[in-house]
Each structure stands twice: as C-alpha cells, then as structure tokens.
Chain A
C-alpha cells in the first residue's frame, strides 16, 4: 500500500505529533516513509502543513497518485488524503488533494459538507467531516482532538495504515498520556464506524 497524506492545521494543534505518529507507525509496518514538517516562525499560530509519504519497499508499482520516491514534499493535486485539523486549513490545503482523494476534516459546522457540495467538489473527492473537538471536550482534554481525528481517518477506505497498527504505535510512543490518547483514538474510530454518530 502506498500513500501520500497531507496534514493541515494551525500551530499548536498537534500537527507535528500526528505526523510523527503516522511516520512511526508506517515504519513499524515495514514501509519506507518520508515527509516534511513545519517548524520555527510559522509554528506560532500560523498555518502548518505536514507531508507524509508512505511507500511499500517490496511493491514498486506506482500508487494512484504516481511514483513515490525520496522527495519530502507532496505536489499539489497528488495527495491521496488531506487530514485537516481546522476547516480553513482544509480549504487552504485543498489544492494538494488529487481527484478521487479523501478529505478528512475537523469541523464544528454542519454546513461544511453542504458548502463542499455546492462548490461541486464532492463529485471529485470524498469528504468525511467530524467534530473532533467536541469529542475531545467530552473526554475532558481538548488537546487530543488531533488523535480523535486520526482515529476517524483510519476508518476511511484505502487509508494506508490500519487502526490496529496506529493503536500499537500510540502505545509504543512513550508519551505519558498514551492512555488518554488511546481512548481518544478509539472514540475517533467509533465515530468513523458508527453511522449514527453525528459525523455530519
């Protein structure tokens, strides 16, 4: 399984953590992984994008998005998944998504999907929206919204990493709060699998 994932958010939302988790998980699964992070000035509340490219070393066949090499950046129009931690950043990073790709977005606005439909984008991309912040708030830790969204993303069709693999990576991450992270992740997975959950 090959894949190009673009993460977009705002400095402070845990985009780097999400990137590191995905990259570590991919490596644990035996994939080659490469990608680019945003550090420094732009981290102070600015728009942050992270590029994650996962490639299976044994299968040199190209992904739907093209051949994957060692280049850290994903070219616009070629990302398989865009995981956006804020609505504005989803729209800002939209040019990266390829035709047929999937947008996973954290949004509190039930109108977001309608807006996408009106713009005609849902004909070309799959949009999956979740109010991950509300779930994180329910869990009492707003800072885990990023992990909730990752759990949700892992339920998407053709997502290159399985929920189980990501859970294992979370457990092995060595962070003190892995238990509450795991809980957040599972809530995200539940929201993704449960048709009754208000995932808009």
Chain B
C-alpha cells in the first residue's frame, strides 16, 4: 500500500485496476479523457494483461466492452455524458440482457457546463435505462466505488454506471493505492439465445427479470457504506440535508464553517434509491434540502416530497454548477430561516471591485500556428457568404473567425449542411454551404452522414480538418493512424478511402499552410457543387496540430515581423485572429508576441496590405509558452 496524489480520473483507473479490469475501452471527451491513459500507465508498470483501446465512438466502445463481459471478462468503458447519448442504444438493451463479467461504465458529467453542449444528468439516464448508478464525492470515494461497481455488477448481473462530475474527475487528491493481484479469467461465452439474442417475447421476460434485480439492488443499497447518516437526534430536526457527490463535500465543509449541527444524509447509490433509508430520514426532519448535480435524480425518487426542497421547487437553481458560493447562499438562507444561524455579511469583500474593473474576457482561442486557423481563413476568403455548419473539437473555435455558424453534436456538421441544402433547394436558391469536421469526429459520427448526403444528392463543400490527432481532449490517436492506444501498431483506416467509398466524386487533399493551393482546392470544390453533375465536394485539410507535432514547423520556421507601414487597421486581429498578434496601444501598430508566436508564418497572408513579412534571419524563440506541455 502506498500513497499517491492523483487526479480523480486516475483514482478511478486505479480502482478499476485493483478490481482486475481486463478490457478497457473509451472514446475521449472532457472530463473523462484521463481514465484510459491512467489504466495504460498501470498496465505497463505492473505488467498486466489488459486489452485497452480508444474506440471509434462511445457506442462502439460500450459494445466492445459488453462483448468481452459476455465472454466472462471484467470490462470497463469510459466516456463523457453526451457520449452516453451515442451509446444509449446499447445500454438500454444491455440492461435487459444483463452481463457475465462485471461491466462498469464511467460516465463523467459536466455541471456548468465547462466543456460540453449540455448539462444532462447521467443519473437520470441510469434511471431511464434501469441501470444502477453510483455518485462519488471525491477521488478517494470514486476509487472505492470503481472497485465496488464490479462486485455489484457481477452480484446482480447488471451493468453499473459510476458517475463522477468534472469536479471529481479533475480533482487532485492523495489516495491510498492497494496492491494489485493479477487475475486471469478464462474467456468463455456460454450460448443462451433466449438472453443474448432475445426476441420480443423473451425481452418481456428479461424486462421482468431486470425489475426483480433492481428490487434486490435497492435492498442491498439500504445498507451500502456509500450512504451515510450523521447527527441523527431523537427529536425531529427543523432542517436536514440530503446530498450527493461534490455538493455533499462542499455542504459538509460549509456546515462545519457555520458551526451548526444538523442531520445530513449522504447518498452515494443514487439509483435505485434506497427509499426506506431516505424516507426515514425525511420523516425525522421538518424540512429537507436536497443538494445534487446536475439535476434532481434523488429528489425525483423520494416517495414523499411534501417537506422537501431542492431543484424541483426552485430552492436550488435548476441549471448551473452548485459552486460553494451558490451552496453558501442556499444554506445560509435556510439555516437563518430555521433560526439555526444569524444572518452574515457577504463572503467576498472585493467581488464588486473585481467586477468594476471590466477585465478583458478570455474566451478560448485556437492556438498560435493552429492549422485550423489557416483553413478557416481561406474558407472565409473563398466563401464570404456561405453558411458554415461546424462540429465538435478545437475547430469549434472557428466561431472566432466567423467560419462556424452551427455546432450541435458529434458529426452534425455534415447532416446539418444536408438539411440546410435541402431547405434552400426547395426554394431553388443556390446558397453556398460549407461543413467542417475534424478527423476524429469524422470517424466517430461523420461517415454515416456523408453516405447519406451523397446518396440523397446533397451539394455542399465538406472540409475535413485532419491534424492527425484528437487534439481537444489530449492528442489521442484516431483510427486513421497506425498507432494504437498502447503504442502498438495496427492497420490504418484511411479517411480518403472512406470518403471515396461513400461515393464522393470530388476529393482533394491539401495543406492549409499552403494558402494559395488550399484556396485553389476550395474554389474547385465550390465549382463541383454547382456542376450539372456535381454533388458533395470534399477537401481534406492535412497539417499536424502544432501542439501535437511541431517537427514540420521546426524544420521550416518562418519568423515574421510587422513593418513600420502597419496602420493599425486591425484587419489581421479580427480576420486572422492569431493570439500572438497584439495591438500596441502606444504605437497603434500590430506587434508579434514573441513569447507565444511559433514562427508558422501564416499571418503573412493575414495582412492583405502586405505589412506582415518574413523576417530575413529566422531565429526560433526558445522555450515558447505554447510548446508541448
């Protein structure tokens, strides 16, 4: 046993390892991306026999894990909350069929949201899918739950979801690492068609079986160590708190700070809710406050909500993260009302001062030298009046260059572009439409949309931004790569071949750093969409992400300077938008920020007056801030 300071996601990975996970699959997505790499680290360090893969998408990842579970292996799959939407088809069916080897889904929620398109509550998804779900408050607890989830899954033969929020996944805490015993289970799939290939008649039986399982799970949860009651008194308390996850940890701290002692019920097993435990608690308090994230999964399951306050009656805001500030306000109000606390002054003495400063907002931006910027800049020049259907990845930040007008979900650039095209076609209007999607996202959910677009005769330009990696989430390899998750080699699934196989007749690959050639490719593509015999035209913009692979840049650095003729018109700042271009307010001229500039030379094209030029003697800046961390 040793101590280590680890990220919540690493703690979860360690829990999986200690439980003897043998198959680990995932599709990257913030805040879940660090789980699989941590499993890999321990697999290597402890020389364990584990299959680890970055799957092409979350549905694939879940099904691969499920197949392994059916063959008797302990399997885990990690994803972010919206990934479960993609994998939901498999999950709802798997709840009926059940599992053989333990199957644990780690699905990370993002109250806030900080890096997601929704604030959806995976615990409600679990309720809908009829799958047990655990809700950890800290990395330490997440690790214990990851281990326990396997036991639970095998005991009741159901998939189990572990649902950390971003504040658990990206919390850093010291945890105890237990020893890992190597475990080898035989691979053995026992044929049972009435279960694994059930027809609707058998599905009804499986549904009834699942309901019975859930009853026994609920009974077991009544005495689970993940649920804890404190400060129960014989008298009815004027106020009690039921809390889960991070809001529990925060509320606990706040109550200590206030110095008040009230009953608190911590729920770690959210679904199926141990209703007897919860009801008894509610009965012993005059009012109960429920604190949970991001929605109201516990509150909804309480049999009697007459004295209960929470998200549902507006006592707790029904959107956004329950930060310590939000919880402080809620608790202080209710405690004061219950005469348990004297009203206090606002906590932060300088909140108003900071607000009064009107500090510059720092929206996220594409990195200096990002190849997506070059591609978007070219797009804006060739298609000044296009509708831009965007997608999910770093390149969503093409909004900053006004080259992304929509962002819905993974792969929707292509399908939304198809819908836009059909809408304008009905009116006989020739509206230029451009879709942009990254390499990893294209492989995740773009291929089906492209086959559909070609088949139904849609016409638009599709730009596949291929920077050789899944950059946004930490540079995971894609299927269009010979590298696998664990560094071994596998066959490459080439994007150009997939595009051709979808029936696309115009395809060009071009380096967006070569602005002239890239624009020519876009112009040709545009012409193809207008041809009598035209259709979807695809341009693959191929250039490695500068953070991921700097070697092409280092081989050919192009240092730039701004000439004295710069008249401060700000065109480059707005249209090219590189963070390393700064306006010096004293001289009213643009300057290059040497600390962050990566010498890509791309902004030479970003000043149409020609005032940004190549420096004669290129000298790479040592230790740039934007080097690979």
Contact = CB atoms under 8 A, between A and B. Distances in A.
A94 B249 CA distance: 24
Interface string A21-59: 001101100011111111111111111000010000000
Contacts of A75: 250, 254, 323-325, 328, 347
A27 B5 contact: yes
Given A27-B3, A37-B7, A39-B31, A44 B367 contact: yes
B360 A88 contact: yes
A30 to B, nearest CB: 9
B30 interface: yes
A17 B627 CA distance: 14
A17 B257 contact: no
B354 A91 contact: yes
B262 interface: no
Given A46-B362, A73-B167, A74-B324, A95 B354 contact: yes
Contacts of B298: none
Given A67-B256, A69-B252, A119 B353 contact: yes
Given A40-B472, A45-B364, A33 B350 contact: no
Contact of B323 (A33, A73, A121): A73
A140 interface: yes
A141 to B, nearest CB: 4
Chain A, interface size: which category? 35 or more
B184 interface: no
B353 A45 contact: no
B252 A70 contact: yes
Contacts of B354: 91-92, 94-95
Chain B, interface size: which category? 35 or more
Given A91-B357, A140-B622, A40 B367 contact: no
B394 to A, nearest CB: 7
B349 A77 contact: yes
A143 B473 contact: no
A19 interface: yes
Q: Which of the listed residues B172, B253, B354, B363 has the most CB atoms from chain A within 10 Å of its own CB?
A: B172
A42 B115 contact: yes
A121 B348 CA distance: 13
Q: Which of the listed residues A16, A66, A75 has the most CB atoms from chain B within 10 Å of its own CB?
A: A75
B297 to A, nearest CB: 20
B351 A45 contact: no
B595 A142 contact: yes
A88 B328 CA distance: 27
Q: Which of the listed residues A42, A44, A67, A96 has the most CB atoms from chain B within 10 Å of its own CB?
A: A44
A49 to B, nearest CB: 11
B172 A33 contact: yes
B351 A76 contact: yes
Q: Which 5 interchain pairs have the tightest Cβ spacing?
A: A40-B30, A75-B324, A77-B348, A77-B347, A40-B115
Interface of A: 10-14, 16-17, 19-20, 23-24, 26-27, 31-47, 52, 62, 66-78, 88, 91-92, 94-97, 99, 119, 121, 124, 133, 140-144
Given A19-B172, A141-B623, 4 more contacts: A42-B114, A44-B364, A68-B253, A72-B171
